[in-house]
Amino acid sequence: MADLSINFAGIKSPNPFWLASAPPTNSGYQIMKAFDAGWGGAVWKTLGVPVINVSSRYGGMNYRDTRISGFNNIELITDRPLADNLREIEEVKKYFPNHAVIASLMVESRKEWEQIIKDVENAGADGIELNFGCPHGMCERGMGSAVGQEPTVLKTIVEWVMAAANIPVITKLSPNITHIESPGLAAVEGGTNALSLINTIKSIIGIDLDTYAPYPVVDGKGSNGGYCGPAVKPIALNMLRQLGQHPQIAGTPISGIGGIETWRDVVEFILLGATSVQVCTAAMHYGFGIVREMDNGLRRFMDERGYKTIYDFAGLALPNVVEWKELNLKHKVVASINKDKCIGCQLCYIACDDTAHQAISISGDQTNRIPSIIEENCVGCNLCSLVCPVENCITMEKRDDGKQHLTWEELTNTDRIPVTFNDERAGGRGHYVPEVADALKHRKN
Ligand SMILES: Cc1cc2nc3c(=O)[nH]c(=O)nc-3n(C[C@H](O)[C@H](O)[C@H](O)COP(=O)(O)O)c2cc1C
Ligand code: SF4
Ligand code: SF4
């Protein structure tokens, strides 16, 4: 049977499911409830000099019927006095000595860092997470993403912290930067024990059409906030793999954060190298109970594949993430429609004819609305299968014999790439393109 327990840079936890530093970890009451529900760890809502928050402070990005496909906030760090939080950390550790309680910290001066580290250590925290991510409010005061965007400053603060800390330190990175490797490397050079990412992405979630102010509206005005939730997962996954593939960063434990909601998300983050995961938005949306689905799903996945611990499959996807130039140009797939599943909506035809490669035909006869693929025109772009509303109705079928392998890199090395604007070696030369005037063929007067 799968053993989900982890030892993350010295922080022990019964499973890799941690709550991220955010409203769900604002108090001992919430963290105790979460541990009782099955979470293995929690990163306490960032501690520092308590703030004053605005009202309201959250915005949701609803997509069609899906509420909160993205989430935005202009909340700051904890607004509660440090002494209250420390007392509650101590209390939680008494009830749950084997669960991971990590104190997220954000202060300014070296003296403040040294003091607050001592305080949370005395309270019994298992680890520290440095919040270098908050992209609103705190950065205006020289903290949060203001540090996360300045690798030199970040490294200096990590060095201060490492000199003072006796418990493991996780440096949480901001995604609001072009090259995530720069702050990642700075943190590693500063001596951090581990990394975590992503914090929220600087964003404006929408504009209120009555007040013309950005959401969430605060007395007629708004501010940029931090974006998170399911919509940011692809960005988080890419940043995770960028760190995991960096020769000097690989080997440093990484806690994956960003849009995690289901066991599948958890597995994907682990496959790209994360050895603990943190969740905020999904817990805010559905409550602490979501951890049961994560736990069951992860166990089933591991049992089916014969993995005993998460370390058996952590990072296994990393070697498959390569540069574009290393992809096989000879691999060829084409779309195929399962006529038994097709409901005749013709969304695939519209997508392909308007915006792809005119590789789907329709009869025009309302008694037969099932489209056909014109194989010789199909470039295998995938669009039709993505727009098709019926699961597995359009599949991509392999058409190459698997024997040929040719990459852009190989073409470049052997001088076989197009180099002039009208080069005969252009990749699209063989593709079907309709006559320009055909666009008006079916015009209705
Ligand atoms: C309302 C709100 C408050 C947050 N506060 C903090 C915080 O105090 N410290 C911190 O490090 N991250 C904070 N975060 C960021 C989360 O910890 C997490 O990095 C981010 O939300 C991405 O994860 P998710 O997609 O699961 O929400 C906050 C996020 C939200 C939505
Ligand atoms: S895969 Fe692309 S080109 Fe081929 S039929 Fe679908 S949309 Fe058209
Ligand atoms: S989108 Fe799918 S269901 Fe609709 S016509 Fe095309 S193949 Fe059929």
Residues within 6 Å of ligand 3 by CB: 337, 342-348, 371, 388, 390, 393-394
Catalytic residues: 134
Q: Mean pLDDT across the stretch 339-349? A: 98
Give the pLDDT of residue 429.
81
Give the pLDDT of residue 445.
67
Share of the chain above pLDDT 70, in %: 100
pLDDT tens, residue by residue, 226-274: 999 999 999 999 999 999 999 999 999 999 999 999 999 999 999 999 9
What atom of ligand 3 comes closest to residue 351's alpha carbon? 1
Which H or E run contains 171?
A: strand 169-172
Report the nearest-CA residue for atom 8 of ligand 3. 342
Sign of CA dihedral 352, 356, 361, 364: positive
Give the pLDDT of residue 133.
78
Give the pLDDT of residue 401.
92
What atom of ligand 2 comes closest to residue 396's alpha carbon? 1
Question: What is the number of other CB atoms lying within 10 angstroms of the CB of residue 85?
Answer: 22
Report the nearest-CA residue for atom 3 of ligand 3. 342
What atom of ligand 3 comes closest to residue 345's alpha carbon? 4
Q: How far is the CA of 1 from the centre of ligand 1 (A)?
A: 33
Give the pLDDT of residue 238.
98
pLDDT tens, residue by residue, 400-428: 999 999 999 999 999 999 999 999 999 88
The answer to whether residues 126 and 12 touch, using CB atoms and an 8 Å cutoff, is yes
Q: How far is the CA of 17 from the centre of ligand 1 (A)?
A: 15
Report the nearest-CA residue for atom 2 of ligand 2. 381
Q: How far is the CA of 129 from the centre of ligand 1 (A)?
A: 13
Ligand nearest to the CA of 393: 3
Give the pLDDT of residue 40.
98
357 lines ligand 2 (CB under 6 A): yes
Question: What is the number of other CB atoms lying within 10 angstroms of the CB of residue 440?
Answer: 7
Report the nearest-CA residue for atom 22 of ligand 1. 258
pLDDT tens, residue by residue, 59-96: 999 999 999 999 999 999 999 999 999 999 999 999 99
Cα distances (angstroms) measured from residue 211 to each of 208, 214, 215, 216 = 6, 9, 10, 11
Q: Mean pLDDT across the stretch 429-438? A: 90
Q: Which domains does the chain have, with CATH numbers?
A: 6-318 (3.20.20.70), 324-440 (3.30.70.20)
Q: Mean pLDDT across the stretch 348-377? A: 96
Give the pLDDT of residue 72.
97
Q: How far apart are CA 89 and CA 156, in angstroms?
A: 28
Q: How far is the CA of 346 from the centre of ligand 3 (A)?
A: 5
Question: DSSP E strands: which ranges in 32-123?
Answer: 41-47, 58-63, 66-73, 100-105
Residues within 6 Å of ligand 1 by CB: 20-23, 45-46, 71, 73, 75, 77, 104, 131, 133, 172, 199-200, 228-229, 232, 257-260, 279-282
pLDDT tens, residue by residue, 13-65: 999 999 999 999 999 999 999 999 999 999 999 999 988 999 999 999 999 99
Q: What is the largest CA-CA distance in the chain?
A: 80
Question: What is the number of other CB atoms lying within 10 angstroms of the CB of residue 257?
Answer: 33
The answer to pTM > 0.75 is yes
Q: How far apart are CA 123 and CA 88, in angstroms?
A: 9
Q: Mean pLDDT across the stretch 394-403? A: 95
Q: How far is the CA of 401 from the centre of ligand 2 (A)?
A: 20
pLDDT tens, residue by residue, 150-206: 999 999 999 999 999 999 999 999 999 999 999 999 999 999 999 999 999 999 999
Ligand nearest to the CA of 353: 2
- Taking all residues of the chain, what is their mean pLDDT, rounded to a whole number? 96
Q: How far is the CA of 54 from the centre of ligand 1 (A)?
A: 16
373 has pLDDT over 80: yes
